[in-house]
Chains A and B, each alone.
Chain A
């Protein structure tokens, strides 16, 4: 059981690392601002979510696990809001600002 949980942790965290790497590469390599925003939000939401899923089996108690989930939900909400706000400001003011 412990081995299976460790395997789940390593798999999920490794997948999260791949998403963070992809987000960084997209932020550096994509041609325009809106597609860079698209790459960034993937790294934010999925990468951090996978890292949190990987850390959940390692949490000491219920409260520590709940705290991890709360951090992820907070980032999820703020990431969704900020993504929309930045995209709206790009649409309204162009990409020159």
Chain B
């Protein structure tokens, strides 16, 4: 069973890493934020699978922290758009 769980974790990490291409190509900032959010939830799933496979203590807590940070990152993105407008938010 641990082998299957680790394989699943690597598979999720692989697909999410491919999804990060969207950060490179955009075209708009919302797409980039969405790719980062997909990386957040994929990272949580990976951490949970690794925690169950290796029985290492505390990895689920890291997943919980990542869930919190991913939520904050996207809310910060939306609030930066709302205050600065689309021109000021792209950082150029």
Interface residues, chain A, with chain B CB atoms under 8 Å away: 6, 9-10, 13-14, 16-17, 20-21, 23-24, 27-28, 33, 36-37, 40, 43-44, 47-48, 51-52, 55, 58-59, 64, 67-68, 70-71, 74-75, 78-79, 81-82, 85-86, 88-90, 93-97
Q: Is the CB of B21 within 8 A of A71?
A: no
Give the distance to chain B from A72, nearest Cβ to Cβ, in Å: 9
Is B44 a contact of A28 with CB atoms below 8 Å?
A: no
Contact for A27 among B38, B49, B86, CB less than 8 A: B38
- The CA-CA distance from A11 to B68 in the complex, in Å, is 28
Nearest Cβ distance between residue B44 and chain A, in whole angstroms? 6
Q: Which chain B residues lie closer than 8 Å to A16 at the CB level? A: 8, 45
Q: Is the CB of B81 within 8 A of A44?
A: no
Proximity string of chain B (50-92) to chain A, C-beta cutoff 8 Å, 1 when within and 0 when not? 0010000000100110011011001101100110011101100
Q: Which residue of A lies closest to B55 (CB)?
A: A60
Complex Cα distance, B3 from A6, in Å, reads 13
Is chain B's binding surface mostly helix, strand, loop or mixed?
Answer: helix
In angstroms, Cα B38 to Cα A23, docked, is 8
Residues on the A chain within 8 Å of B48, using CB = 51-52, 55, 68, 71
In the bound complex, what is the Cα–Cα distance between A28 and B16 (angstroms)?
Answer: 11
Chain B minimum-CB-distance residue to A22: B15
Closest to B16 in A: A24
24 contacts between A and B (CB under 8 A): A6-B1, A13-B4, A14-B8, A17-B11, A27-B34, A33-B30, A36-B34, A40-B34, A40-B37, A43-B38, A47-B45, A51-B8, A51-B12, A51-B49, A55-B52, A67-B64, A68-B48, A71-B48, A71-B60, A75-B67, A81-B71, A82-B75, A86-B78, A96-B86
